[in-house]
Amino acid sequence: MPPTIITLNQFLLEYFETLVKDLPTEALEVQGRGTGHSALWLLGHMAISVDFGNQVLGRETICPARWFVAFGPGSSDEIKNPEKYDSREMIEVIRSGYPKLQELAMAADETLLTAPHPVEMLQDTALKTKGDLLGHLLTTHLSMHLGQLSFWRRLQGEKPLF
């Protein structure tokens, strides 16, 4: 795994911290106009993305199975029983999970990283290997959802961070 990908993930995690430090938790279920996603969905999705990276590397999952159903690809933006989900737990999975995923990716065997990835919906894209997929999870995927979370915050009346 190229060190630049790890550096970019670290940078994104710094941005994540600025987004969640004063997150208006009373409004987490409000869907964002234009993104369709609520902050709760975005946090859950980013948490399971860390866990999916673990799976790609052959590691155990850490998120409850119900999170994959509620926040996985193709899931509804309207979360049933949102009170079942603890945003603080999701934030902690993101906080602790990405640094661990960085370590695992850096230590991963080259044979594993060059193997084809298992994601059907990405088969016809430039992402061909598990290493490509991990790079995406650590950078472009995370940055896209952080942008949506930033936009969601602005819709809730929060001040811009930059």
Q: What is the pTM of this model?
A: 0.93
- For 32-54, what is each residue's pLDDT tens digit? 776 678 999 999 999 999 999 99
What is the Cα–Cα distance from 19 to 147, expressed in whole angstroms?
10
pLDDT band at 116 (very low <50, low <70, confident <90, very high): very high
Q: What is the pLDDT of residue 34?
A: 67
68: tokens are 């994959």
First to last CA, the chain: 30
Q: What is the pLDDT of residues 52-98, one digit of tens each?
A: 999 999 998 899 999 999 999 989 888 888 888 999 999 999 999 99
Question: Residue 66 is which amino acid?
Answer: R
Q: Which of 79, 9, 8, 7 is nearest to 43 (CA)?
A: 79
CB 1 within 8 A of CB 106: yes
Q: Look up the CATH superfamily of 3-155.
A: dinb family like domain (1.20.120.450)
- The Cα-based distances of 77 to 10, 24, 39 in angstroms read 28, 19, 10
Give residue limits of the domains in the chain. 3-155
